Chain A
Amino acid sequence: MTERLRVRVDPDKCQGHARCKALAPELFELDEYGNAHEAGDGTVPPGLEDKAWLAKSNCPEIAIDVIEE
Chain B
Amino acid sequence: MSDVSQPAAHPPVTDWVNDFDHTDPQWTDDPFPIWEELRAASPVVHTGRFLGCYMPTTYEAVREIANDTEHFSSRRIIVRDVRPEVARNAAPPITSDPPVHKPAKQLLLPPFTPDAMKKLEPRMRAICNELIDGFIADGKVDAAAQYSKYIPVQAIAHMLGIPESDSDLFINWIHMILELGIKDENRLLQAVQEMSAYFRTHIEERRSKPTNDLISYLMNAKDKEGQPLEESHVLGSLRLLLIAGIDTTWSAIGSSLWHLARTPADRERLIAEPGLIPIAVEELLRAYSPVTMAREVVKETTVSGCPVKTGNMVLLSFPAANRDPKMFPDADKVVIDRRENRHAAFGLGIHRCVGSNLARMEMQVALEEWLKRIPDFRLDPAGTVTWSQGTVRGPRQLPFLLGKAM
Contact surface of A with B, Cβ cutoff 8 Å: 15-19, 21-22, 30, 32-34, 54, 57-62
Chain A residues with CB under 8 Å of B346's CB are: 17, 60
Give the residues in chain B near A22, CB-CB below 8 Å: 114, 278
**Binary per-residue interface labels of chain B (111-144) against chain A in the complex, 1 for a CB within 8 Å, 0 otherwise:** 0111100000000000000000000000000000
Determine the main DSSP class of A at the interface with B: loop
Q: In the bound complex, how far is the Cα of B343 from the Cα of A15, in angstroms?
A: 14
Nearest chain B residue, comparing its CB with the CB of A14:
B352
Interface residues on B, range: 20 to 34
Residues of the A chain whose Cβ atoms lie less than 8 Å from the Cβ of B340: 57-58
Q: List the A side residues contacting B385 at CB < 8 Å.
A: none
Rounded to whole angstroms, the CA-CA distance of A60 and B356 in the bound complex is: 13
Whole-angstrom distance from the CB of B156 to the nearest CB of chain A? 17
Asked whether A60 and B348 contact (CB < 8 A) given A22-B114, A22-B278, A34-B114, the answer is: yes
Contact partner, A33, options B113, B278, B339, Cβ 8 Å: B113
Interface string of B54-75 (1 = CB under 8 A from A): 0000000000000000000000
Distance of B206 from chain A, by nearest CB (Å) = 24
Give Cα A17 to B145, complex, Å: 29
11 A–B contacts from the bound complex (CB under 8 Å):
A15-B349, A18-B114, A30-B114, A30-B115, A32-B109, A32-B110, A34-B112, A34-B113, A57-B342, A58-B341, A60-B342
In this assembly, does B180 line the interface, its C-beta being within 8 Å of a C-beta of chain A?
A: no
Which residues on A sit within 8 Å (CB–CB) of B356? 17-18
Q: Are A32 and B113 in contact (CB under 8 A)?
A: yes
